[in-house]
Amino acid sequence: MENYVQISIVITSTCLLMTSVWFLGIRRSKTKRRPIEERPVGEPCGRDYNIQRAVLPRASGWTLKFLTTLSNSLIGSLTSSITLSQTNMNLFQGLHLDDVPTYQPSFPFCGPPAAVNEKCTTDNLILKRRKKSRKEFTYYSVSEFHQAYLSGEVTPAEVAEDAIEAIKASEAREPKLRAIVEYNTFEIRRMAKESTDRYNEGSYLSVFDGVPIAFKNELHCVPYHRRAGSDILGREESTQDATVVAKMREAGAIIIGMTNMHEFGLGTTGCNPGKLHGTARNPYNTNHYTGGSSSGSAAAVSAGLCPVAFGTDAGGSIRIPSSFCGVVGLKATLGRISYYGGAGQCYSCLHCGPICTSVRDAALAYATVAGPDPLDQFSVHQPEVTLWNFDDTDLSSIKLGIDWRFFRDCDKDVLSACEKAVKYLEQNGAKVIDIEIPEMEETRIAHAITCMAEMKPTITKDLINNYDEIACESRVILSAVDDLKATDFILANKQRTRTIKFLREIYEKVDVIITPGTPFTAPEIQPGDLKYGLFDSNLMTGIMRYMFLGNFIGNPCLVVPVGFSQKGLPISLQIHGRWWEEDVVLRIGNVAEMACPSRPQPEVFYSLL
């Protein structure tokens, strides 16, 4: 009887709370929405910085479980309406835009013609091995693995054994790191032996020959499963490699396994309650999240399990975990790196790219996997891949665009570190130009609508047949999609046309746009999060604050660690470049990296050399 009363109180209280939030949401949407008809067609809506905060309460544990049940009950439509209203996802409903929608972005070739750029080669990026100070912590680079193999100091086979032991140790500790969620010791040893034989014969394939790498389990990689972070996908082993996997395999890399991720890429924390996955932990503090959705890739690189791992990015999923875990993450121009062999969600915003311990390694990985791929329609038409003037630290010809209202919308530790990094770039000759990016909130919402609308059809069948096995957070988000209308999707892509136009105008004045990586450091894991996950729209949108722009317009973005908070958590700077100008972004990132000359060793770290 007592339990029945308690349950009744909870149900009644929850319904009253949700009704109140719904009412407030209606009032909020009516008072804050401005009709687009009042704005000149094709012109900015105004210069006010207008990014809004979501107001839905945080839910995890049994609370989230209960809310998930409600969202799929008779009052599910009501809860979906609340979610859309309180996250401003209904911004476009009832509005009008005359712009032609951009459903599949394509970008003009900018910058100097390929003929004047130096040939893209990794040879001039290879550095000799450094002598490490006992007091200074630094990661081992791809070049150092290569040089160690050339000298005979160590073999790929020996490094592979160390990698296997490190993976096992990372899973034996408490809490488990959960960076690598699937690995095959036979495959690792086979690839390592073949690499060792090549070095013994003097016929190594590339600088990556024998280097341990890993791939997000959103990508096909023989003989592993492409599960996309979910217990309901990837029932069968992959029989064909994704293009990036094939290219790294051709370069001789040792694939040590598949990395963890936020289920379906639908979250930004990396919290995954799935039985096959669990939640990846931040190597700098295992009580904090890695960020998502490429959580395991960033954790693996940060913890030293491999110097390079690949992730995917539709809303910051490479750059967020890289920022939180203190490593480098590159999202190239849409299509620059083939996504063929990926799970296929959010196709017009989705990128594949490397997560590395340094900008130099990011450049090496980029040069290895970038280029046209006839299997990827976004990849076919692109200019030559270059690494023009990568080591030129004189930035006197570079103009940095900063929207200071946007830049300063972050915590004080982040602001301090990023401002110091900007000053360092100025000391190397770069000039800061004040800019204002219009229609930020409209772009943020348009990006979210586009991703959700494109994603839902790709998992509908599995969703229906295995609904109870999907994480609560994913269910809440996917249920909200049902209340979106076709006109929302059309208007969102009309907004993309507008946003691309605005950014093209800005890039006529500056070479890159600079922002922090994330507005705050890695959030702490709260009690109750791990069993059923968490739904926190304010946290999600906050983490993505500097991310959505790059995905929606498809330009290259790089995050680089530039400092640490008072609690010892990593802070990153982000560099947004013009379409196809990854060489410029990487060159500036190579200098920005020097703004943070020393770093603490992660709490969880394994050395393979």
CATH number, domain of 360, equals 3.90.1300.10
pLDDT of residue 141: 96
217 Cβ neighbours under 8 A, 6+ residues apart: 181, 182, 224, 225, 226, 227, 228, 229, 234, 258, 259, 260, 261, 296
Closest CA to 422 of 596, 599, 586: 596
End-to-end CA, the chain:
63
In a domain, 525, yes or no: yes
Instruction: Note whether 147 and 261 are same-domain residues.
Output: yes
- Does residue 448 sit in the same domain as residue 361? no
Q: Of 465, 485, 507, which residue constitutes the final position of a domain? A: 507
DSSP letter (8 states) at residue 391: T
The answer on 423 and 305 residing in a single domain is yes
| Domain contains 606 | no
Q: Residue 121's Cα: distance from chain center in Å? A: 26
Residue 552 has pLDDT above 80, yes or no: yes
**Do 448 and 558 reside in the same domain of the chain?**
no
463-467, 515-519, 533-537: least confident range: 463-467
Q: Which residues partner with 374 through β-bridges?
A: none
Same domain, 175 and 272: yes
Give the model's confidence band at 461: pLDDT under 50 very low, under 70 low, under 90 confident, else very high.
Answer: low
Do β-strands 328-331 and 351-356 pair in parallel, antiparallel, or remain unpaired?
antiparallel
Residue 547 lies in a domain: yes
**238 and 352 part of one domain:** yes
Are 186 and 257 in contact by the 8 Å Cβ rule? The answer is: no
Q: What is the pLDDT of residue 401?
A: 98
Say yes or no to pLDDT of 190 above 90: yes
Alpha carbon 594 to chain centroid distance? 23
Average pLDDT of the chain is 88
The answer to whether residue 29 sits within a structural domain is yes
27-36, 52-61, 342-351, 557-566 — which is least confidently predicted?
Answer: 27-36
User: Do 145 and 11 share a domain, yes or no?
Assistant: no
Q: Measure Cα distances from 302 to 86, 192, 306 in Å.
A: 35, 22, 8
**Boundaries of domain holding 81:** 2-105+440-507
pLDDT on residue 34: 38
Torsion of CA 488, 491, 493, 497, to 10 degrees: -160
Statement: residue 458 has pLDDT above 80: no
> What pLDDT sits at residue 114?
45
Q: Mean pLDDT throughout 510-522?
A: 98
- The edge-to-edge listing of strands for the beta sheet with 328-331 is 180-182, 254-259, 212-216, 308-313, 351-356, 328-331, 557-564, 570-577, 512-516, 399-402, 431-434
The answer, yes or no, to whether residue 547 has pLDDT greater than 60, is yes
Q: How far is it, in rounded angstroms, from Cα 271 to Cα 289?
A: 7
Q: Would you please indicate which residues are annotated as catalytic (active-site) residues?
A: 216, 293, 317
373 assigned to some structural domain: yes
**Both 254 and 242 in a single domain?**
yes
How many separate domains does the chain show?
2
Residue pLDDT, tens place only, 23-50: 344 344 333 433 333 334 334 444 578 8
Closest CA to 542 of 442, 444, 466, 439: 444
**Sign of the alpha-carbon torsion through 414, 417, 420, 422:** negative
SS3 65: helix
Buried b or exposed e, range 513-531, using 16+ CB within 10 angstroms: bbbbbbbbbbbebeebbbe
Residue 226 lies in a domain: yes
Same domain assignment for residues 137 and 80: no
Q: Taking the CB of residue 552, how many other CB atoms lie within 10 A of it?
A: 29
* Domain shared by 281 and 415, yes or no: yes
pLDDT category of residue 77 using cuts at 50, 70 and 90: low
Q: 245 and 223, same structural domain?
A: yes
Confidence of residue 91 (pLDDT cuts 50, 70, 90): confident
What average pLDDT score do residues 466-482 get?
Answer: 83
